[in-house]
Chains A and B, each alone.
Chain A
Amino acid sequence: MTPVTLILIALGLGLAGWLAGRAKAWSFQKDESVKRLTARPNYHGWYVAIWIALPVILFAAFWSIASPQLVNMSVLASSAAEQLPETSFQRDVIMSEASAVASGRATAVFNPDARALIEPFREAMSRYNMIGLVLSLLIAFVGGAWAFLRIKPDFTARTRVERVIMGVLLLASLVAILTTFGIFASLVVEAFRFFTSVSPIDFLFGTFWGPDPMSNAENPDGSRYGAIPLFWGTIFIGAIIAMIVAIPLGLMSAIYLTQYANPRVRAWLKPALEILAGVPTVVYGYFAALTVAPAIRDAAVAVGISNASSESALAAGLVMGVMIIPFVSSMADDSIAAVPSAMRDGSLAMGATTSETIKRVLVPAALPGIVAGVMLAISRAIGETMIVVMAAGAAAKLTANPFEAMTTVTFQIVAMLTGENSADHPATLSAYALGFVLFIVTLGLNFIALRVVKRFREAYE
């Protein structure tokens, strides 16, 4: 009995409840003495259906967790389990093998000990399946009967159904938030493990990055975990080079689209720009690594910069900037469009030209929104991974020369987690600390940006 079957049963019984509840409500409507139902018959039907289906679905969720435990316990208590080895690890392997065969997920067992357990497993499973089925039917019946009996002409079924719908929607929105909290918690735990072996001072202010995964894990050298070069590389590529490209281009394209483009041009240019945001970043990465980076190196060498590297901060930053243009442009577009047209008319009526109006009225009025867009773009850029992995190089260098290879926080997270390193080594754990810092910074940027946008909206509404 899988949870899916239970849920199907729940839905089937729910349908029956719906029909029954509705029929009962209809019968009231035919009754002469009843003036008016407080809710339409459909709502009464839904009320009964919810009382049947929801408890059963909740029970199915609970049962899908509880029943395997109960099965295991009953198998362990059986006589066949007496000759099982004492070590819990071996025992678990045998148990899971037997259970896999019993439930039909596997056809044969490796371990002869497991063979004896298959039959007890089958028995326990069918027993608990039966129990689960009976319990669900019981729950469905009790819930349905209770709801059905409550249906009266003046019963406020509609508000109750609405409340359930609201609850379901609330739950859906909580999933994303709770996931964020979960991510945060797991990052905190792992980062804390890292900081027990490497001091946060060394990590946050050290200027040399060179974790050695082969070193002694018990006593790491804190001076090899200085993340400043990574922070610098991230800021240099994501917040400086990329923004030098993205801010002017994004802003200008937004101004063109909102103020100059005629509707026909706008109708295809704006979606085209937004498609740019949907291109997988790995594709940008190819472009940066195969086309832009060599071109930049050749150009740099041609003008006499001899130490230009074939992987460079400039290549990654430029391509990242192009990738970010749609973000800046679309936020700026929205905020310029949100400036009341009365402002624009007022300025034009003063005899200002379109460009004077844009420069002196529209952009200043839209500035908070534009700034917020830029901050969101920065947070996106510094969290970007693929382009820097492919084009920026791996050298943790503290330099302001854009032709040199650099590395970023995201690159090092990838490098530390994908190696052959032991999962408990500080070099691996440092990835979580880096992720933690990145998470805090981007969260902060987004938070500030959203606050600014909110205040901006209030100013015009």
Chain B
Amino acid sequence: MTVIHSGLDATDPKMRASDVSVYYGDKKAIDNISIDIPSKYVTAFIGPSGCGKSTFLRALNRMNDTIPSARVEGTIELDNEDIYASGMDVVYLRARVGMVFQKPNPFPKSIYENIAYGPKIHGLADGKEQLDEIVETSLRRAGLWEEVKDRLQDSGTALSGGQQQRLCIARAIAVDPEVILMDEPCSALDPIATAKIEELIDELSGRYAIVIVTHSMQQAARVSQRTAFFHLGKMVEYGKTSDIFTNPIEQRTKDYITGRYG
């Protein structure tokens, strides 16, 4: 099957996946996907549940390594460097490719410590002042600073769901990644918190390459510039978001977008 890449200028891919298949034991979850992730854009992965979009997302920063039975074939490159090569340092990779999860998962530490966690383990800050600065910048970028600046020592788990998710985004930003992967970041949030996160994604998109997995097609249409449609472990169509939503080439994409299944 040929994947249709409609109207994409192939310049400047941040990440490039070539013929990637992911297996869980003997089961093939991802079948032969090739995709270029552009830098400084938001790329959305859409598709019905179980289509493999989260699995593929987790392959991009090797989070699948934590699942013993998972196995990846093909190559995934970050700035033309194979991330599955034996010389690749997973720690360094994950510092460059950050991740935000479906359910907000702040550490049971203070707000400050949540943000300072990454910079501390990667030794990004020289001394307390610089760390304070990183914490403030990250919280500002995540649009959370005004809400929490007076209670940085409170527990991160005491925040509301939407605030927790923005805290997690701030935590990911704090290590200054190049790519941020978001796995259905709004699925556990109410509409108002969702709107805030979407706004935030929009603001961040000029600075980072963002890949977002979402169940909501409206969300994909609102926040992304590129959209890939996944179905049954395969990537059916990939193109500019405007094209995918107004003028899809594949019948299956059309059916999914118009709500005929999924």
Contacts and interface: CB of A to CB of B under 8 A. Distances in A.
Interface of A: 262-263, 340, 342-353, 356, 360-361, 364-365, 459
B103 A364 contact: no
Nearest to B69: A263
Contact of A347 (B95, B107, B157): B107
Interface residues of B, number: 28
B168 A352 contact: no
Contacts of A344: 66
Contacts of B108: 343, 364-365, 459
Contacts of A365: 107-108
Given A263-B68, A361-B107, A364-B109, A351 B175 contact: yes
A344 B107 CA distance: 9
A351 B91 contact: yes
Given A343-B105, A348-B94, 13 more contacts: A262-B68, A344-B66, A348-B66, A349-B61, A349-B63, A350-B95, A350-B117, A351-B90, A352-B121, A356-B121, A360-B117, A364-B109, A365-B108
A364 B121 CA distance: 16
Nearest to A359: B121
B64 to A, nearest CB: 11
Given A340-B105, A343-B105, A364-B108, A350 B121 contact: yes
A20 B154 CA distance: 68
Interface string B51-94: 00000000001010010100000000000000000000011111
27 contacts: A262-B68, A263-B68, A342-B101, A342-B103, A345-B63, A345-B66, A345-B101, A345-B105, A346-B168, A347-B107, A348-B63, A349-B94, A349-B99, A350-B95, A350-B117, A350-B121, A351-B90, A351-B91, A351-B93, A351-B95, A351-B121, A351-B175, A352-B91, A352-B117, A352-B118, A360-B121, A361-B107
Contacts of A352: 91, 117-118, 121
A350 B172 contact: yes
Contacts of A349: 61, 63, 94, 98-99, 101, 172
Contacts of B93: 351
B248 to A, nearest CB: 32
Given A263-B68, A345-B63, A350 B118 contact: yes
B105 A346 contact: yes
B118 to A, nearest CB: 4
Interface string B95-138: 10011010101111100000001100110000000000000000
A169 to B, nearest CB: 37
B98 A350 contact: yes
Nearest to A263: B68
Contacts of A356: 121
Looking at chain B's contact residues, is the secondary structure mostly helix, strand, loop, or mixed?
Answer: helix
Most chain-A CB neighbours within 10 Å: which of B68, B93, B121, B168?
A: B121
A351 B68 contact: no
A353 B91 contact: yes
Contacts of B172: 349-350
B226 interface: no
Of the candidates B95, B99, B103, B108, the one having the most CB atoms from chain A within 10 angstroms of its own CB is: B108
Contacts of B121: 350-353, 356, 360
B166 interface: no
Interface string B167-188: 0100110010000000000000
Interface in B218-257: none
Contacts of A263: 68
Contact of A346 (B68, B90, B91, B101): B101
B102 to A, nearest CB: 9
A263 to B, nearest CB: 7
Contacts of B109: 364
Nearest to A350: B118
Nearest to B122: A351
A446 B107 CA distance: 28
Nearest to A366: B108
B92 to A, nearest CB: 7
A459 to B, nearest CB: 7
A356 B105 CA distance: 17
A350 B94 contact: yes
Contacts of A350: 94-95, 98, 117-118, 121, 171-172, 175
Contacts of A459: 108, 157
Contacts of B105: 340, 342-343, 345-346
Contacts of A351: 90-95, 118, 121-122, 175
Interface in B21-63: 61, 63
A422 to B, nearest CB: 59
Contact of B107 (A262, A343, A348, A353): A343
Contacts of A262: 68
A230 B106 CA distance: 48
Contacts of B117: 347, 350, 352, 360
B74 to A, nearest CB: 22
A353 B92 CA distance: 10
A356 B121 CA distance: 8
A361 B121 CA distance: 12
Contacts of B171: 346, 350
Nearest to A340: B105
**6 closest residue pairs by CB, A with B:** A342-B105, A351-B95, A351-B94, A349-B99, A346-B105, A350-B118
Nearest to B106: A346
Nearest to B104: A342
A342 B122 CA distance: 21
Nearest to A365: B108
Contacts of B168: 346
Contacts of A348: 63, 66, 94
Which of A344, A348, A356, A361 has its CB near the most chain B CB atoms (within 10 A)? A348
A350 B99 CA distance: 7
A360 B116 CA distance: 12
A184 B117 CA distance: 50
Contacts of A342: 101, 103, 105
A287 to B, nearest CB: 37
